[in-house]
Structure 1
Amino acid sequence: MVLLLLLLLLLAVVRSYDLSYLKSGSDIRGTFSSASSADNSSSGQNLTPRISYSIGAALARTLPPSSSLLLGRDPRLSGPSLLNSFSLGLTTTQGLTTKTTNIATTPSIFQACLTGYADYGCIVTASHLPSDKNGFKIFDKHGPVSVERRDELLKVAGRIYDEIEGEEYENEGRGEGVDYMEVYVASLVDYVESSLGPKGLSGLKVLLNSGSGSGFYLNEVLGRCGADVSCSINLKPDGRFQNGPPNPEAKRMVTETIKACEKSSEVDLGIMLDTDGDRVGFITPGENGRFVPLNRNRFVAVMASILANNNEGGKEIVVVTDSVTSLGLEKFVNGLKNMRMVRFKKGYMNVINEAKRLCGEGVDAELAIETSGHSAFRGNSFMDDGTYSAIVVVCELARRRREAGGKGGSVMDWIEGLEEASFEEELRLQVLQPKETPTINIYERIEEAVKNDGRWKVDELNREGVRLVLEGEWGEGWFMLRPSLHDPVVSMQVECEVEKSKRLVGEVRNLIFAAVQDAVDFGELDGVE
């Protein structure tokens, strides 16, 4: 009987609610539910106020005494509830100072830590995911907290979750209300004025599509600096995202922004921001006055061209990119004067950390950038900031217009010579296996089958997944397979001649099907034309 009591006591001590399902890349994300009973639902993806309170309390327990924190959120309807319960969890530890800035961008929270306004920051956001999702990104002065620290935080939060009694997590949160976004906006205005002088963007007409997300603040920056922003769209934050969450890679947002540019006369540049303002894409006048997207490989090429154009010292500059960049992009960047591209891994923190590592070795890695629209300049403390990148492009456009005597010219002109494949697509294979078989296990079987087929050459310089080089009968190009960072998905990135694309995808499909049988859904691959 004594042994039984000791065993029960031990179990009570070590009991911990498993919150590992909230891991998503380097962030914390789940599906919002207001009901505490949903914490234990079979879906295993719920994020509730009780869990939010537990994460806030866990963070408080792991911080130094007398730390200050800045909290913000994107416009999602679940944001106020999660922000409130998170801030209430923070109050379980005495001595912490909490400030709340309401709707904000992710980069602004990082900037607050970087400048010493707060020691730590947290924004409640799920970036480009659907409106029913939400989560947390936590920062210190070095940037987002590490994956290891995030994992430990969830373990502590799991223990706290089981300690909670009553409904204290539903009480009113505490913390001083501040308007940090005004500080952030002022810093971007200062950047423009130091580069071009007051009203330095006068003469430019810029259309911002913030997609009803947090990035509407950029419109104020552009307007205060003299740009005509009367044509901007979707500026009112609305967490329902009735047209879909803002995502500069999404064809829907690209098409919507192109139509808005066409409707308004003489737009010099269109800007698209994602939900929390850390990713960006562009729309620019192209040939025959038609507007074209400047995202993905073009986005990287534009940023590299700006660095090359302003490289007065003549030193070699390195641009660190992700694993799915094109052959044409690599040739373009390496062809710029004193420029070199290093292809690394998907994941914005992966490219940022690799750039930092290279800088530590004495390499001038000035830019860490993903084709998804994430970009971080060394001169901006490697802060992942889509709004800052947008300002860099707009300033460069204004500067080149001045040098040309006020004459026109498109951003597309900066990347003249960039070779682009006639077929370029990312296809997603939904993994259907049960939870006990991880996606990575399915992927490993796929990779082995494709590598051993022998019809394609393995790219040995690739740093993740498997990238196969096409040649001979397949023409020039490549395709790549990798497991998703966030979802039970295997991604297939393809770049080849359009007349070869359907056959190539069909052959790879057959190989994958033979390797994993009914473990993946090929619906999206079947639709390739």
Structure 2
Amino acid sequence: MAMSLVTIVILLTSTAAAAYDLSFLASGCDIRGTFVDDLTGLNPTVSYCLGRAFAKKLGPYKTILLGRDPRTHGEVLTKSFCSGFLDENSLATTPSSHVKITGLATTPSVFHSCLTGFVDGGVMITASHLPKDRNGLKIFTKDGPLSVKERDDLLKEAGRIMDDCDLDGTHIGEGIENVNFMSVYVSFLVDFVNERVGEKGLAGLKILVNSGGGSGYFLVDVLEQCGADVSSSINLSPNGSFPKGPPNPENKKMVKETIEACEREKNVDLAIMLDTDGDRVGFITPSSTGEYVPLNRNRFVAVMTAILANSRPEGEETAYVVTDSVTSTGLEKFVNGLPGMRMIRFKKGYMNVINEAKRLCKEEGKAAELAIETSGHSAFRANNWMDDGTYSAVVVVCELAKRGGRVNDMIAGLEEASFEEELRLQVLENETSDVYAKIEAAVRGDGRWMVDELNKEGVRLVLGGKWGSGWFMLRPSLHDPVVSMQVECDEGVAAKLVSEVRNVIFGAVGDNVSYGDLDAIE
């Protein structure tokens, strides 16, 4: 076993009488913060204490794998976490268990290392699509990602450790092994493709991958081994400075760049866009008129559901698809129109939809087969509920290889609003908690609006009358202290609708709001 020495400098001055409060690093279901030198964000000291806390959670003589995205501070956070883990297990003197570092990796591959029994725990150092000065940790066991409670307990334990620590100087950690687990994950996906499409593989398909300088570049190797032409792919070199911004398949600039690359190359059958750590995906596909168009958001959910419906034998029990809260009414109509399929709209947040799908299976006996977000997160029951954009990508590629033609032909019946935008509002902190209830109360009894009673978070209002068809929704943002507003309606009434929405919000919360993005809708 290859061994190495890692030197970490950790400076910590403990003056507080109680544990450090690290709850500000909780973001969605992950740990995320700005990389800074002090204790107002995420730094090597915090990472070290999280490593010790995770070691306590797992127990002695356990093995973990760490991967990271290309951010420049990912390596030092990786090493400091390792040192904390090893210190807690006293492996500096008894290296019978150890840490495996795989370097640049994707979040799904780290989870896969736990599922296969390669390690007892996995840690991915990433902040996904957030700016380059952010970083974070996604932590797994064989049972899946840590729950929100487990995450919060880990932060509390790390805070207690931080208060008790008295480190000043150089720490030497021993018991670290460098491995290449990404090659194992490549083989897993190659085997999946070969099982789906047989000997022909992906021969004859021209596929463009845009990994945006993130960790998803490895998908090119998977597709190439299966026979696809990937020569037109772009932005494959990992670059933690993200000169074009962190890769994000929802980002309009990334979509535009990918479309332009398809137009230059011509004859591209499918383009795949991956986020920074490979757990989200979006597509570009040729339309019936020859234009290249996005296959993301509602279209993404529709095509993944259509593929699932095509793979189910006739006569099987109804299959359920759990989506986030911002999916459209047109999408719900499309999914429910597929043979044997039903859609359940839940909450924003990829672990929210995954946990709801699991609950439906366990508690209600429903065959929930897919948990999926419009953001590009998706997890199949058949893939152990692993949130994996690269797995979803090969599912789509395999379907294209089997059926030929264009992927978006599968969703020709999807009804789409001509205007669709996600906007941001800044509401004063003391108003945020009840802003949704105030807005709902303000519109009840007004014939122009109908409250969506099935909505699970925030407030969602269905439009009618002079506004035509459509809806708008207000909900708390997962990662930022703002209110997110989703609008879908007819193009011709968008400006009038947004103006009316401003009146509704003002009537509910007065001047305690900055309208931000709403001002851009004219």
| TM-score for both structures, normalised by structure 2 | 0.92
Other-structure match for 2:208: 207
Identity of counterpart residues, as a percentage? 63
Q: Write the mapping of 1:219-368 to structure 2, written as runs, cut at 5 A.
A: 219-315=220-316, 316-360=318-362, 361-368=364-371
Instruction: Report the Cα distance in structure 2 between the residues aligned to 1:521 and 1:53, rounded to whole angstroms.
Output: 39
Query: Could you tell me whether the CA contact under 8 Å between 1:50 and 1:169 is conserved in 2?
Result: no
Q: Write the mapping of 1:87-106 to structure 2, written as runs, cut at 5 A.
A: 87-94=82-89, 96-106=97-107
* Cα distance, 1:454–1:160 mapped onto 2, change above 3 Å: farther
* Cα distance, 1:312–1:168 mapped onto 2, change above 3 Å: farther
* Cα distance, 1:295–1:159 mapped onto 2, change above 3 Å: same
Instruction: Report the Cα distance in structure 1 between the residues aligned to 2:445 and 2:298, rounded to whole angstroms.
Output: 29
User: Is 2:415 the partner of 1:419?
Assistant: yes
User: Is 2:494 the partner of 1:493?
Assistant: no
How many residues end up aligned between the 2 structures? 501
Query: Could you tell me whether the CA contact under 8 Å between 2:437 and 2:459 is conserved in 1?
Result: no
User: Is 2:467 the partner of 1:474?
Assistant: yes
Instruction: Report the Cα distance in structure 2 between the residues aligned to 1:100 and 1:14, rounded to whole angstroms.
Output: 35
Instruction: Report the Cα distance in structure 1 between the residues aligned to 2:186 and 2:516, rounded to whole angstroms.
Output: 44
Query: Could you tell me whether the CA contact under 8 Å between 2:217 and 2:236 is conserved in 1?
Result: yes
Q: Look up the equivalent residue of 1:209 and give its one-letter code.
A: N
Instruction: Report the Cα distance in structure 1 between the residues aligned to 2:79 and 2:444, rounded to whole angstroms.
Output: 50
Give the C-alpha shift of residue 205 in structure 1: 0.2
Q: SS of the counterpart of 1:304?
A: helix
Other-structure match for 1:140: 141
Instruction: Report the Cα distance in structure 2 between the residues aligned to 1:26 and 1:439, rounded to whole angstroms.
Output: 20
Give the C-alpha shift of residue 463 in structure 1: 1.4
Give the C-alpha shift of residue 258 in structure 1: 0.3
Instruction: Report the Cα distance in structure 2 between the residues aligned to 1:170 and 1:519, rounded to whole angstroms.
Output: 50
Query: Could you tell me whether the CA contact under 8 Å between 1:89 and 1:169 is conserved in 2?
Result: no
Instruction: Report the Cα distance in structure 1 between the residues aligned to 2:171 and 2:441, rounded to whole angstroms.
Output: 50
Q: SS of the counterpart of 1:289?
A: coil
Deviations 1:75-115 (A, max 9, x none): 00010011111111101222642111011000001111111
Give the C-alpha shift of residue 124 in structure 1: 0.4
Give the C-alpha shift of residue 454 in structure 1: 5.3
Q: Look up the equivalent residue of 2:508 and give its one-letter code.
A: A
Query: Could you tell me whether the CA contact under 8 Å between 2:262 and 2:292 is conserved in 1?
Result: yes
Give the C-alpha shift of residue 22 in structure 1: 0.3
Deviations 1:235-262 (A, max 9, x none): 0100000000000001011001000011
Other-structure match for 1:370: 373
* Cα distance, 1:245–1:287 mapped onto 2, change above 3 Å: same
User: Is 2:378 the partner of 1:382?
Assistant: no
Other-structure match for 1:16: 19
Instruction: Report the Cα distance in structure 2 between the residues aligned to 1:306 and 1:388, rounded to whole angstroms.
Output: 13
Q: Of the candidates 510, 518, 522, which is equivalent to residue 525 of structure 1?
A: 518
Q: SS of the counterpart of 2:231?
A: coil
Deviations 1:433-482 (A, max 9, x none): 4xxx3743445444443456553111111111111111122211111111
Q: Write the mapping of 1:54-133 to structure 2, written as runs, cut at 5 A.
A: 54-94=49-89, 96-133=97-134
Query: Could you tell me whether the CA contact under 8 Å between 2:48 and 2:80 is conserved in 1?
Result: yes
Q: 4+ runs of 1 displaced by more than 4 Å?
A: 11-14, 168-174, 441-444, 450-454
Instruction: Report the Cα distance in structure 1 between the residues aligned to 2:281 and 2:168, rounded to whole angstroms.
Output: 41
Instruction: Report the Cα distance in structure 2 between the residues aligned to 1:281 and 1:419, rounded to whole angstroms.
Output: 19
Where do 5+ consecutive residues of structure 1 fail to align?
Answer: 1-10, 402-408
Give the C-alpha shift of residue 276 in structure 1: 0.3
Give the C-alpha shift of residue 287 in structure 1: 3.1
Instruction: Report the Cα distance in structure 1 between the residues aligned to 2:124 and 2:57, rounded to whole angstroms.
Output: 18
User: Is 2:43 the partner of 1:48?
Assistant: yes
Give the C-alpha shift of residue 67 in structure 1: 1.4
Give the C-alpha shift of residue 308 in structure 1: 1.4
Give the C-alpha shift of residue 313 in structure 1: 3.8
Q: Write the mapping of 1:402-417 to structure 2, written as runs, cut at 5 A.
A: 409-417=405-413
Query: Could you tell me whether the CA contact under 8 Å between 2:440 and 2:451 is conserved in 1?
Result: no
Give the C-alpha shift of residue 319 in structure 1: 1.0
Give the C-alpha shift of residue 521 in structure 1: 2.0
Deviations 1:275-327 (A, max 9, x none): 00000000000132110000000001101111111211422211111111111
Query: Could you tell me whether the CA contact under 8 Å between 1:82 and 1:124 is conserved in 2?
Result: yes
* Cα distance, 1:13–1:511 mapped onto 2, change above 3 Å: closer
Instruction: Report the Cα distance in structure 2 between the residues aligned to 1:168 and 1:488, rounded to whole angstroms.
Output: 37
* Cα distance, 1:150–1:451 mapped onto 2, change above 3 Å: farther
Instruction: Report the Cα distance in structure 2 between the residues aligned to 1:48 and 1:450, rounded to whole angstroms.
Output: 46
Query: Could you tell me whether the CA contact under 8 Å between 1:352 and 1:382 is conserved in 2?
Result: yes
Query: Could you tell me whether the CA contact under 8 Å between 1:113 and 1:120 is conserved in 2?
Result: yes
Comparing 443-452 with 517-526, greater Cα deviation is found at: 443-452
* Cα distance, 1:21–1:444 mapped onto 2, change above 3 Å: farther
* Cα distance, 1:57–1:31 mapped onto 2, change above 3 Å: same
Q: SS of the counterpart of 2:289?
A: helix
* Cα distance, 1:444–1:21 mapped onto 2, change above 3 Å: farther
Query: Could you tell me whether the CA contact under 8 Å between 2:87 and 2:173 is conserved in 1?
Result: no
Query: Could you tell me whether the CA contact under 8 Å between 2:448 and 2:464 is conserved in 1?
Result: no
RMSD: 1.8
Query: Could you tell me whether the CA contact under 8 Å between 1:87 and 1:174 is conserved in 2?
Result: no
Query: Could you tell me whether the CA contact under 8 Å between 1:450 and 1:508 is conserved in 2?
Result: no
Query: Could you tell me whether the CA contact under 8 Å between 1:91 and 1:174 is conserved in 2?
Result: yes
Q: Relative contact order: is structure 1 or structure 2 higher (C-alpha 8 Å, sep ≥ 6)? A: 2
Give the C-alpha shift of residue 423 in structure 1: 1.0
Give the C-alpha shift of residue 54 in structure 1: 1.0
Q: Look up the equivalent residue of 2:209 and give its one-letter code.
A: L
* Cα distance, 1:248–1:170 mapped onto 2, change above 3 Å: farther
Q: Look up the equivalent residue of 1:59 and give its one-letter code.
A: F
Instruction: Report the Cα distance in structure 1 between the residues aligned to 2:213 and 2:174, rounded to whole angstroms.
Output: 26
Instruction: Report the Cα distance in structure 1 between the residues aligned to 2:502 and 2:253, rounded to whole angstroms.
Output: 27
Query: Could you tell me whether the CA contact under 8 Å between 1:447 and 1:481 is conserved in 2?
Result: no
Instruction: Report the Cα distance in structure 1 between the residues aligned to 2:337 and 2:149, rounded to whole angstroms.
Output: 39
Q: SS of the counterpart of 1:47?
A: coil
Give the C-alpha shift of residue 197 in structure 1: 2.4
Other-structure match for 1:4: none
Query: Could you tell me whether the CA contact under 8 Å between 2:431 and 2:512 is conserved in 1?
Result: no
Give the C-alpha shift of residue 517 in structure 1: 3.4
Comparing 485-494 with 190-199, greater Cα deviation is found at: 190-199
Other-structure match for 1:7: none
Instruction: Report the Cα distance in structure 1 between the residues aligned to 2:128 and 2:143, rounded to whole angstroms.
Output: 20
